[in-house]
Chain A
Amino acid sequence: MLMTRKSSNANLKRNMVLFGWLMVMLMAASAARAELLIRITEGANAAIPVAVVPFAESGVMPAGDKVSNIVQADLTMSGEFQLLAPEKMLSLPSKRSEVYFRDWRLLGQRYVLVGELTRSGQRVEARYELFDVNREQRILGETAGASASNIRSLAHHISDRVYETITGEPGVFSTKLAYITLTTSGNESVYRLQVSDIDGQRSKIRLESREPILSPAWSPDGKKLAYVSFETGKPVIFIHELATGKRTKAADFPGLNSAPAWSPDGQSLLMTLSRDGNAEIYQMNLASGKTTKLTNHWAIDTEAAWDHAGRGIFFTSDRSGGPQIYYMERPGAEPRRLTFGSRYNARARPDSKGEYVYYIHQRQNTFHIARRNLKTDEESIITRTGSDESPSVSPNGRMLIYSTQQDGKGVLTVVSADGGAAYSLPASEGEVREPAWGPISR
Chain B
Amino acid sequence: MKGHERDTISTDSTSLKSPVVLSLALHLLILAVALAGWSWTNPVQEPEPRSIAARLISPEPEPSPLVDDQDQRKKDQELKEKQRQKAEAERKRIQQEEAQREAEKKAQELARKQEQLKEQERKRQEAQAKQKAEQQARAKEAARKKAEAEAKERERQKAEQERKRQEQVKRKALEEKKRQEELRRKEEAERQRKEEEARKAAEQKRQEAERRLREQQLNALAEEAKKAQENEARKQREAQAARAREAQMLTDSQKYQALIRERLSQAWYPPSSATENMTARLQITLLPTGELASVTLVSSSGNTAFDNSALGAVRSLKRYPVPDNRDSFERYFRQFTIEFNPQRLR
A residues adjacent to B (C-beta < 8 A): 2-3, 6, 10, 14, 17, 21, 28, 32, 35-48, 80, 105, 110, 132-135, 139, 164-169, 396, 398, 416-418, 420
Q: With a CB–CB cut-off of 8 A, which chain A residues contact B253?
A: 36
Mask of B262-300 contacts with A, CB within 8 angstroms, 1/0: 001111111111100000000100000000000000000
Tell whether, in the assembled complex, residue B346 and residue A418 are in contact, meaning their CB atoms are under 8 Å apart: yes
> What 15 new A-B contacts, CB under 8 Å, besides A43-B274, A167-B271?
A6-B228, A10-B228, A10-B231, A21-B239, A28-B246, A36-B337, A37-B336, A40-B339, A44-B265, A45-B346, A132-B312, A134-B312, A134-B315, A135-B308, A135-B312
A-B complex: 3 closest residue pairs judged by Cβ atoms? A168-B305, A168-B273, A134-B315
Quick one: closest B residue to A81, CB to CB? B269
Tell whether, in the assembled complex, residue A40 and residue B265 are in contact, meaning their CB atoms are under 8 Å apart: yes
Tell whether, in the assembled complex, residue B339 and residue A110 are in contact, meaning their CB atoms are under 8 Å apart: no
Tell whether, in the assembled complex, residue B336 and residue A416 are in contact, meaning their CB atoms are under 8 Å apart: no
B339 contacts which of A37, A45, A105 (Cβ < 8 Å)? A37
Q: With a CB–CB cut-off of 8 A, which chain B residues contact A398?
A: 272
Within B199-247, the residues touching A (CB, 8 Å) are 221, 224, 228, 231, 235, 239, 242, 246
Tell whether, in the assembled complex, residue A43 and residue B342 are in contact, meaning their CB atoms are under 8 Å apart: yes
A/B interface sample: 25 pairs, CB < 8 A: A2-B221, A6-B224, A6-B228, A17-B235, A28-B246, A28-B331, A32-B331, A35-B336, A38-B264, A38-B337, A39-B261, A39-B341, A40-B265, A40-B268, A42-B268, A44-B267, A46-B269, A80-B272, A132-B308, A133-B312, A134-B311, A134-B313, A134-B316, A135-B312, A168-B303
Main secondary structure of the interface of B (DSSP, over half): helix
Interface centre among A38, A167, A417 (most CB of B within 10 A): A38
Q: Given A10-B228, A44-B266, A135-B308, A38 and B235 touching (CB < 8 A)?
A: no
Tell whether, in the assembled complex, residue A416 and residue B308 are in contact, meaning their CB atoms are under 8 Å apart: no
Q: Does B72 contact A (CB under 8 A)?
A: no
Q: How far is the CA of A166 from the CA of B273 in the complex (A)?
A: 9
A38 contacts which of B305, B309, B339, B342 (Cβ < 8 Å)? B339
Q: Given A32-B331, A37-B336, A38-B260, A168 and B342 touching (CB < 8 A)?
A: no
Q: With a CB–CB cut-off of 8 A, which chain A residues contact B265?
A: 40-44
In whole Å, how far is B199's beta carbon from the nearest beta carbon of chain A? 33
In whole Å, how far is B300's beta carbon from the nearest beta carbon of chain A? 12
In whole Å, how far is A378's beta carbon from the nearest beta carbon of chain B? 10
Quick one: closest A residue to B335, CB to CB? A35
Q: With a CB–CB cut-off of 8 A, which chain B residues contact A133?
A: 312
Q: How far is the CA of A37 from the CA of B260 in the complex (A)?
A: 11
Tell whether, in the assembled complex, residue A43 and residue B268 are in contact, meaning their CB atoms are under 8 Å apart: yes
Quick one: closest A residue to B279, CB to CB? A39
Q: With a CB–CB cut-off of 8 A, which chain A residues contact B313?
A: 40, 43, 134
Q: Does B338 contact A (CB under 8 A)?
A: yes
Q: How far is the CA of A80 from the CA of B311 in the complex (A)?
A: 18
Q: With a CB–CB cut-off of 8 A, which chain A residues contact B270?
A: 43
Interface centre among B231, B260, B270, B304 (most CB of A within 10 A): B270
Q: With a CB–CB cut-off of 8 A, which chain B residues contact A139?
A: 308
Q: Does B344 contact A (CB under 8 A)?
A: yes
Quick one: closest A residue to B331, CB to CB? A32
Q: With a CB–CB cut-off of 8 A, which chain A residues contact B310?
A: 40
Mask of B324-342 contacts with A, CB within 8 angstroms, 1/0: 0000000111011111111
Tell whether, in the assembled complex, residue B315 and residue A135 are in contact, meaning their CB atoms are under 8 Å apart: yes
Q: Given A10-B228, A36-B253, A110-B316, A42 and B344 touching (CB < 8 A)?
A: yes
Interface centre among A41, A46, A169 (most CB of B within 10 A): A41
Q: With a CB–CB cut-off of 8 A, which chain B residues contact A80?
A: 272
Q: With a CB–CB cut-off of 8 A, which chain A residues contact B312?
A: 110, 132-135
Q: Does B15 contact A (CB under 8 A)?
A: no
In whole Å, how far is A141's beta carbon from the nearest beta carbon of chain B? 15
Q: With a CB–CB cut-off of 8 A, which chain B residues contact A416?
A: 346
Q: With a CB–CB cut-off of 8 A, which chain B residues contact A17?
A: 235, 239
Q: With a CB–CB cut-off of 8 A, which chain A residues contact B339?
A: 37-40
Quick one: closest B residue to A2, CB to CB? B221
Tell whether, in the assembled complex, residue A43 and residue B269 are in contact, meaning their CB atoms are under 8 Å apart: yes
Q: How far is the CA of A264 from the CA of B309 in the complex (A)?
A: 32
Tell whether, in the assembled complex, residue B264 and residue A166 are in contact, meaning their CB atoms are under 8 Å apart: no
Q: How far is the CA of A45 from the CA of B318 in the complex (A)?
A: 20
Within B153-195, the residues touching A (CB, 8 Å) are none
In whole Å, how far is B25's beta carbon from the nearest beta carbon of chain A? 111
In whole Å, how far is A244's beta carbon from the nearest beta carbon of chain B? 35
Quick one: closest B residue to A163, CB to CB? B272
Q: Given A38-B257, A40-B313, A42-B342, A168 and B274 touching (CB < 8 A)?
A: yes
Q: With a CB–CB cut-off of 8 A, which chain B residues contact A3?
A: 224
Q: With a CB–CB cut-off of 8 A, which chain B residues contact A36?
A: 253, 257, 332-333, 336-337
Q: With a CB–CB cut-off of 8 A, which chain B residues contact A166?
A: 271, 305, 308-309
Quick one: closest B residue to A3, CB to CB? B224
Q: Does B120 contact A (CB under 8 A)?
A: no
Quick one: closest A residue to B269, CB to CB? A48
In whole Å, how far is B283's beta carbon from the nearest beta carbon of chain A? 8
Q: With a CB–CB cut-off of 8 A, which chain B residues contact A46?
A: 269
In whole Å, how far is B343's beta carbon from the nearest beta carbon of chain A? 4
In whole Å, how far is B338's beta carbon from the nearest beta carbon of chain A? 5
B311 contacts which of A40, A135, A417 (Cβ < 8 Å)? A135
Q: Given A134-B315, A135-B312, A35 and B271 touching (CB < 8 A)?
A: no
A44 contacts which of B268, B304, B318, B341 (Cβ < 8 Å)? B268
In whole Å, how far is A106's beta carbon from the nearest beta carbon of chain B? 10
Q: How far is the CA of A83 from the CA of B255 in the complex (A)?
A: 34
Tell whether, in the assembled complex, residue A169 and residue B257 are in contact, meaning their CB atoms are under 8 Å apart: no
In whole Å, how far is B334's beta carbon from the nearest beta carbon of chain A? 9
Q: With a CB–CB cut-off of 8 A, which chain A residues contact B268?
A: 40, 42-44
Quick one: closest A residue to B284, CB to CB? A38
Q: How far is the CA of A42 from the CA of B261 in the complex (A)?
A: 9
In whole Å, how far is A68's beta carbon from the nearest beta carbon of chain B? 21
Q: With a CB–CB cut-off of 8 A, which chain A residues contact B257?
A: 36, 38
Q: With a CB–CB cut-off of 8 A, which chain A residues contact B246?
A: 28
Tell whether, in the assembled complex, residue B336 and residue A38 are in contact, meaning their CB atoms are under 8 Å apart: yes
Tell whether, in the assembled complex, residue A35 and residue B304 are in contact, meaning their CB atoms are under 8 Å apart: no
Q: How far is the CA of A133 from the CA of B315 in the complex (A)?
A: 9
Q: How far is the CA of A38 from the CA of B295 in the complex (A)?
A: 14
Tell whether, in the assembled complex, residue A396 and residue B272 are in contact, meaning their CB atoms are under 8 Å apart: yes
In whole Å, how far is A156's beta carbon from the nearest beta carbon of chain B? 17
Q: With a CB–CB cut-off of 8 A, which chain B residues contact A42?
A: 265, 268, 342-344
Quick one: closest B residue to A37, CB to CB? B337
Q: How far is the CA of A87 from the CA of B93 in the complex (A)?
A: 194
Q: How far is the CA of A39 from the CA of B337 in the complex (A)?
A: 8
Q: How far is the CA of A417 from the CA of B274 in the complex (A)?
A: 14
Q: With a CB–CB cut-off of 8 A, which chain A residues contact B316?
A: 105, 110, 134
Q: With a CB–CB cut-off of 8 A, which chain A residues contact B311?
A: 132, 134-135
